[in-house]
Structure 1
Amino acid sequence: MSNASVAVPTRGSLLWVVVLASIGAFITSLDVVVVSTALPSLRDHFGASLSDLEWTINGYNLAFACAMLTCAALGDRLGKRTVYVVGLLLFTASSVWCAVSGNAETLIAARVVQGLGAAAVLPLSLSLVSDAFPTEKRGAAIGIWGGITGLGVAAGPVLGGVIIQGLDWQWVFWINVPVGLLTAALCLVKVPDNKGTRAPLDLVGLALAAAGLFALTWAPVRAPSIGWGSTEVVATLTAGVVLLVCFVGWEVRSKAPMLPMSYFRHRGFSTSNGVAFALAFSLIGSLFLVAQMFQIGLGHDPLQAGLRMMVWNAMPMLVAPIAGGLSDRLGNKPFLLAGMLLQGVGLGWLGLVAKADVGYGTLIGPLIVSGVGISMVFPTMANAVVGSVPLEQSGLASGTNNTVREVGGVFGVAVMAAVFAAHGSYRSAGDFMEGFRYAELVAGGVAVIGALIAAAAPGRARVDLEAAPVAVLGS
Structure 2
Amino acid sequence: MNNQRTAPDVSPPQQTNPWPALWALVIGFFMILVDSTIVAVANPAIMDTLQADINNVVWVTSAYLLAYAVPLLVTGRLGDRFGPKNIYMVGLVLFTAASLWCGLSGTVTMLIVARVFQGLGASMMTPQTMAVITRTFPPDRRGTAMGLWGAVAGVATLVGPIAGGVLVDNLGWEWIFFVNVPVGVVAFVLAWRLVPSLETHRHKFDIPGVVLSALGMFFLVFGIQEGSTLDWSTAVFASIAAGLILLGTFVWYQSWNKNEPLLPLGLFRDRNFSLANVAITSMGFAVTAMVLPLMFYAQAVRGLSPTASALLLVPMAVLTGVLAPFVGRLVDRTHPRYIAGTGFLLFAVALGWLATVMSPDVAIWELLLPIGLIGLANACIWSPVAATATHNLPPHQAGAGAGVYNTTRQVGAVLGSAAIGALITARLSAQGLTGGRPEEGVGELPAFVLEPFSNAMSQSVWLPAAILLIGFVASVCFARPVRQSDREVSADVAPSRETSLQG
TM-score w.r.t. structure 2 length? 0.85
Q: CA deviation at 1:49?
A: 5.0
Q: CA deviation at 1:462?
A: 5.8
Partner of 1:231: 234
CA distance in 2, matches of 1:417, 1:167: 27
CA deviations 1:19-44 (Å, max 9, x no partner) are: 11111111111123223333333334
Q: 1:74 to 1:171 in 2, by over 3 A?
A: same
Say whether 1:249 aligns with 2:270.
Answer: no
Say whether 1:280 aligns with 2:284.
Answer: yes
Contact 1:161–1:302 (8 Å) recurs in 2: yes
Contact 2:225–2:421 (8 Å) recurs in 1: no
Contact 2:301–2:360 (8 Å) recurs in 1: yes
Partner of 1:138: 142
CA distance in 2, matches of 1:214, 1:193: 35
Partner of 2:456: 435
One-letter amino acid of the structure 2 residue matched with residue 251 of structure 1: Q
Contact 2:59–2:112 (8 Å) recurs in 1: yes
Say whether 1:197 aligns with 2:201.
Answer: yes
CA distance in 1, matches of 2:366, 2:85: 46
One-letter amino acid of the structure 1 residue matched with residue 368 of structure 2: I
Partner of 1:56: 60
One-letter amino acid of the structure 2 residue matched with residue 242 of structure 1: I
CA distance in 2, matches of 1:343, 1:318: 17
Q: CA deviation at 1:134?
A: 1.2
Say whether 1:19 aligns with 2:23.
Answer: yes
Aligned pair partner of 2:161 in 139, 157, 162? 157
CA deviations 1:297-352 (Å, max 9, x no partner) are: 32211111111211123332122211111111113222221111111111112222
Contact 2:55–2:421 (8 Å) recurs in 1: no
CA distance in 1, matches of 2:235, 2:300: 32
Where does structure 1 lack aligned partners over 5 or more consecutive residues? 467-475
Partner of 2:312: 308
CA distance in 2, matches of 1:465, 1:404: 30
Aligned pair partner of 2:476 in 442, 455, 474? 455
Q: CA deviation at 1:464?
A: 9.7
Q: 1:24 to 1:175 in 2, by over 3 A?
A: same
Aligned pair partner of 2:303 in 284, 299, 302? 299
- Taking the TM superposition and a 5 Å limit, the aligned residue runs for 1:74-473 are 74-227=78-231, 229-253=232-256, 254-420=258-424, 421-422=426-427, 424=431, 425=433, 428-461=449-482
Contact 2:3–2:199 (8 Å) recurs in 1: no
CA distance in 2, matches of 1:286, 1:50: 16
Contact 2:225–2:419 (8 Å) recurs in 1: no
Partner of 1:469: none
Partner of 1:472: none
Contact 2:62–2:417 (8 Å) recurs in 1: no
Number of equivalent positions: 465
One-letter amino acid of the structure 1 residue matched with residue 79 of structure 2: G
Q: CA deviation at 1:15?
A: 2.5
CA distance in 2, matches of 1:299, 1:282: 25
Where does structure 2 lack aligned partners over 5 or more consecutive residues? 434-444, 488-503
Say whether 1:71 aligns with 2:92.
Answer: no
Contact 2:65–2:413 (8 Å) recurs in 1: no
- Helix, strand or coil for the counterpart of 1:329? coil
Contact 1:276–1:381 (8 Å) recurs in 2: yes
Q: CA deviation at 1:276?
A: 1.4
CA distance in 1, matches of 2:27, 2:486: 28
CA distance in 1, matches of 2:158, 2:401: 26
Q: 1:383 to 1:435 in 2, by over 3 A?
A: same
CA deviations 1:232-288 (Å, max 9, x no partner) are: 322222222222222222222322222221111211111111111222222221111
- Helix, strand or coil for the counterpart of 1:449? helix
CA distance in 2, matches of 1:115, 1:194: 25
- Helix, strand or coil for the counterpart of 1:279? helix
CA distance in 2, matches of 1:183, 1:121: 11
Contact 1:223–1:414 (8 Å) recurs in 2: no
CA distance in 2, matches of 1:179, 1:281: 27
The farther-off stretch of 272-281 and 351-360 is 351-360
CA distance in 1, matches of 2:486, 2:261: 19
CA distance in 2, matches of 1:403, 1:456: 21
Contact 2:153–2:382 (8 Å) recurs in 1: no
CA deviations 1:143-164 (Å, max 9, x no partner) are: 1122123332333222222212
Q: 1:105 to 1:66 in 2, by over 3 A?
A: same
One-letter amino acid of the structure 1 residue matched with residue 312 of structure 2: R
Q: CA deviation at 1:465?
A: 13
CA deviations 1:369-411 (Å, max 9, x no partner) are: 2221122111211112222321232222222222222222232
One-letter amino acid of the structure 2 residue matched with residue 215 of structure 1: F
- Helix, strand or coil for the counterpart of 1:221? helix
CA distance in 1, matches of 2:422, 2:247: 25
CA distance in 2, matches of 1:30, 1:363: 23
Q: 1:419 to 1:246 in 2, by over 3 A?
A: closer
- Helix, strand or coil for the counterpart of 1:314? helix
